[in-house]
């Protein structure tokens, strides 16, 4: 039996495209492609909006549909030029989906679906406006203090809910988990010093947190 997580992407695709359907191989392939697609979508969309998890997930499914429609015709026509060239093809598909979405909705920010399903009470609008203004202020400040990659890592974690490990697995990030954790730790200290307040986000594993709930540096 093949150890699917250890297989190269080329070997995995070969197993998926055999006449007899291998569900385990397909599950592993889709898992890998979803991570690549989601990373591309987020980096594209964040250029003009703050995408929600729901938005990224929906567009990820749209991208997969393009790859899997008509008996995975796009994947069957694909030819490897080098071992991992499939990822480049998938990134192109995801980028096109993001651009199509951009043209469709324009440049207005993408609001979370919950805001429309469950409208807030009138008094909540003031608090939300203050929060949005603060987030804009934080983002503008980070543009002057951090690299674009560090800023993307911060928002992937604190807006999208990605863990340090998930961020490290996004193709193009090219950083180890401990490096991601250090970036988050550094930025949180920076923001606390500037804005004098707590900045809470999705928690990491307990063993990777300091006593205030933020990632330890260099773990």
Q: Residue 73, Cβ neighbours under 10 Å: how many?
A: 12
CB 217 within 8 A of CB 185: yes
Q: CA angle, 127 as apex, 126 and 130 as ends, to 5°? A: 90
> What is the model's pTM?
0.50
Give every CB contact of residue 180 below 8 A, 6+ residues apart in sequence. 153, 164, 165, 167, 168, 173, 215
pLDDT confidence of residue 118: 35
For tokens 């191989």, the residue is 25
- Using DSSP, state whether 215 is helix, strand or coil: strand
Please write the tens of the pLDDT for every residue from 36-83: 999 888 888 877 776 778 888 999 999 999 999 999 999 999 999 887
Instruction: Give per-residue pLDDT as tens, 112-157.
Output: 333 323 334 444 445 556 667 778 888 888 999 999 889 888 888 8
HSE-CB of 129 using CA atoms within 13 angstroms: 5
Taking only the tens place, the pLDDT of each residue in 16-29 is 999 998 899 999 99
């Amino acid at each position: 039996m093949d150890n699917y997580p250890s297989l190269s992407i080329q070997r995995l695709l070969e197993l998926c495209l055999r006449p007899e359907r291998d569900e385990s191989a397909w599950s592993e392939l889709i898992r890998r492609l979803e991570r690549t697609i989601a990373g591309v979508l987020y980096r594209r969309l964040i250029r003009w909006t703050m995408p929600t998890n729901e938005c990224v997930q929906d567009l990820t499914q749209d991208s997969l549909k393009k790859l899997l429609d008509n008996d995975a015709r796009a994947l069957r026509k694909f030819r490897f030029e080098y071992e991992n060239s499939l990822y480049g093809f998938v990134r192109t598909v995801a980028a096109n989906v993001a651009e199509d979405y951009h043209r469709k909705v324009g440049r207005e920010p993408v609001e979370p679906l919950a805001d429309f399903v469950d409208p807030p009470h009138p008094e909540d609008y003031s608090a939300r406006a203050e929060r949005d203004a603060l987030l804009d202020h934080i983002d503008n400040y980070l543009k002057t203090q951090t690299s674009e990659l560090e800023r993307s890592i911060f928002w992937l974690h604190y807006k999208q809910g990605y863990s340090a490990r998930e961020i490290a697995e996004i193709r193009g990030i090219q950083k180890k988990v401990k490096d991601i954790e250090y970036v988050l730790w550094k930025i949180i200290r920076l923001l606390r010093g500037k804005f004098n307040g707590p900045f809470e986000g999705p928690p990491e594993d307990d063993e990777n947190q300091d006593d205030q709930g933020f990632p330890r540096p260099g773990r």
